[in-house]
Chain A
Amino acid sequence: MDTSYRPELITTARDMEELKQLANIGADALTVGHQHYGLRVAGDFSLFDIKEAVQFLHASNKKLYVLTNAIFHNERLETLPAYLQELDKLQVDGIICGDPSIFPILNEMDLNLSIHWNPETLSTNYETLNYWHSKGISRAVLSNELSIEAIKEIKNKLSIPVEIQVHGMTCIFQSKRKLVSNYYNYIGDSSGVDGKQLHLKQFKEADSHYPIFEDCNGTHIMSNEDLCMMEFLQDIFLAEIDCVRINGMYKSRDYQEKIVSLYRTAIDTWISDQDKFNQLTETWKHQIIQIQPDERKLDTGFYYKEQIY
């Protein structure tokens, strides 16, 4: 085995304070953005914040990735080039994109930003990712609806780094419509959605808990379960998946810190002593269960689940 394998631990940050805290605890890279350009950001970061974040992270050899994966309509494209120009100038370490509009724009501007390709549901095989590689992406962020076996095959057939999510909720739906506002309007409730934390329960699925929110990109629905791959990290590490990501949306700062620190420990232990790692994964999982909110079940997403069609 290649002993130089060191997976990158990435996580989201809702603000500067959390960014610094999570970097100090052990995240190798932080993902931030602004809802005007990025999807499902944990909190809005201005360019000014991004500048500070880059300086802070680069000082300790850590990375900052910026979400620019919105489904851009024509109007949004108008300010996008200037935004990209700024990100390039600030020397962010990568932009997370999911719309092919990025390629002609970057080509015309002759910018050298590193593209992490994440169209979420739309890139689910190695040929497609190789195609995007030929267009200039430098990292493949894989869909959450893939099995571990599929991920391994993709990893083997791709020559760029592969990133997957290992913890937290995932997005399962995006509409351009304001679906919650529309509902409030229909029932004549004028209180609006601003500032509310909301979730859906599916009639036929007892105790289901699907967070739902609106922003300038429309309506987003998040998964019923929180992904938790702690017990199965071995499968991911043996496959030498390059980057593993924690999504901290809807979680308390304390929870997020604990989770990042546990995954940091897990990665470090894997690198230093795999026997010890194998002995401790259950303990770490138990520590997660202890802080897991009651209404949020943990599971392994689609990594070990068959889908039919």
Chain B
Amino acid sequence: MNKKPELLAPAGNLEKLKFAIHYGADAVYIGGKQFGLRSKAGNFSFEDMREGVEFANKYGAKVYVAANIIAHNENLEGAKEYFKNLYEIGIAAVIVADPALVQACREAAPNLEVHISTQASIVNWRTVQFWKEEGIPRVVLAREVSMEEIKEIKEKVDIELETFVHGAMCISYSGRCVLSNHMTARDANRGGCAQSCRWKYDLFEDGLDGAVAVTEAAEETYTMSSKDLSMVEHMPDLIESGVDSLKIEGRMKSIHYVATVVNVYRKIIDTYYEDPQNYQLKQEWVDEIWKAAQRSLTTAFYYEEPTEQAQLFGKPDKIPKYDFAGLVLDYDESTQIATIQQRNSFSIGDEIEFFGPNFYHFKQKITDIWDEKGQAIEMAKHPMMIVKIKVEQPVKYYDMMRKNK
């Protein structure tokens, strides 16, 4: 049996990093203030990184930094110093797409591991072989690579492979799309992507008598929006393919999203490894994934060339929406009262669900809320206010409370 793959989660900021790790990620990837593709994510200062690494160390988890822009001349400055700092902070690896940054990292921090990003569109074993021969220990495969192709790559090249298991995806080959550059002058390969692929277009057939709009007669306009990837129902296949790291997309996603998705994949991987022969997918894992889903889901390229079924057309499917209502700070066993930090308003009578690491779950109705002075209140309406509520089962710090929107 293959070595247990790493579960790699996104962390847009320090708080998300802590949740991702506490909920079971073996490693997280973050962005710094430079060289990353998510200019709108919170992103980490060196100070935050230090704290993140310290937190991760306590759990035996790793922190990777994405420095995956395709650099222009003026972006090269400061790269060496940046990588040197990352190494000194204790970052375990950097995820890089541009060879200029690979070189900068090697010169400045030869012991800092370099992983080649999915932005480099690595889709075949020869390209993987090239990077292996360059001394790269791990590549992140393009999302276009199928399960069969992964197996072949793994057979032919002795290198760590990282693939996406969950999250949003480009409809183009990542890195090979400059729609955003051309339509909005925002450089997609340096973090400015305007997601132009998800916009609406008219499609015309050009003929001798001029152009005819195909979209005019159709009920649906032309668009190129991909459903989100989810391999939740097919994890044994991925594990058996020999992939070394299973990556969840989403540095821009919420804490609720990260904790929920990590929790599910952690549970699945651990369950599979306990007894692979008798492993069975549980509906509750799939249901749980849908509580964090933002779009319909697809297995994308893993089993077949994606058809129109893998794209978002027409009215969006109804997906239940949940809010992160509160974070458990403390619990008093003798009184069964939990201390909660409010994250979204909730009131007496609300149906809520508590969940925590190791797939801990229970639902209840809110019966009592007390404010910090011990006064009974109807509603916890102020962001981050501390309240106490009666809970029906034990909870602990880091457990989360969600509520239907």
**Which of B73, B214, B218 has the largest number of chain A CB atoms within 10 A?**
B73
Asked if B178 and A122 make an inter-chain contact with CB atoms under 8 angstroms apart, the answer reads no
**Which of these binds chain B: A18-26, A58-66, A67-75, A278-286?**
A67-75
Asked if B202 and A307 make an inter-chain contact with CB atoms under 8 angstroms apart, the answer reads no
**Inter-chain CB contacts under 8 Å: number:** 207
Asked if B178 and A172 make an inter-chain contact with CB atoms under 8 angstroms apart, the answer reads yes
Those of A76-110 within 8 Å (CB) of chain B: 76-77, 99-105
Asked if B131 and A100 make an inter-chain contact with CB atoms under 8 angstroms apart, the answer reads yes
Which one of B72, B104, B127, B187 lies within 8 Å of A99 (CB-CB)? B127
Say whether chain A's binding surface is mostly helix, strand, loop, or mixed.
mixed
Which one of B71, B175, B181, B211 lies within 8 Å of A302 (CB-CB)? B181
Q: Answer whether residue A174 sits at the interface, using C-beta atoms and an 8 A cutoff.
A: yes
Q: What is the size, in residues, of chain B's interface with A at 8 Å between Cβ atoms? A: 78
How distant is the Cα of A96 from the Cα of B242 in the complex, in angstroms? 34
Asked if A200 and B131 make an inter-chain contact with CB atoms under 8 angstroms apart, the answer reads no
Residue of A with least CB distance to B104: A127
Asked if A199 and B124 make an inter-chain contact with CB atoms under 8 angstroms apart, the answer reads no
Q: Answer whether residue A146 sits at the interface, using C-beta atoms and an 8 A cutoff.
A: yes
How distant is the Cα of A73 from the Cα of B152 in the complex, in angstroms? 11
Those of B212-228 within 8 Å (CB) of chain A: 213-214, 218-222, 224
Which one of A104, A153, A179 lies within 8 Å of B73 (CB-CB)? A153
Q: A177-B311, A201-B201 are in contact. List 20 more A-B contacts (CB 8 A).
A: A71-B173, A71-B176, A72-B123, A100-B126, A122-B120, A150-B73, A150-B74, A173-B172, A173-B176, A173-B178, A173-B197, A174-B172, A175-B173, A179-B171, A186-B308, A198-B203, A198-B205, A200-B203, A202-B183, A305-B185
**A–B pairs, 23, beta carbons within 8 Å:** A71-B173, A72-B123, A74-B125, A77-B126, A99-B127, A100-B131, A122-B70, A177-B306, A177-B311, A179-B171, A183-B308, A186-B220, A186-B314, A189-B218, A198-B203, A198-B205, A200-B202, A200-B222, A201-B213, A223-B182, A307-B187, A307-B190, A308-B185
Q: Which are the 10 A-B pairs with shortest beta-carbon distances?
A: A101-B126, A309-B192, A127-B100, A309-B190, A182-B308, A187-B218, A100-B130, A309-B187, A131-B99, A186-B308
Interface residues of B (CB under 8 A from A): 39, 70-76, 97-100, 102-104, 120-121, 123-127, 129-131, 133, 144-145, 149, 152-153, 171-173, 175-179, 181-183, 185-187, 189-192, 196-197, 199-207, 211, 213-214, 218-222, 224, 301, 305-308, 310-311, 313-314
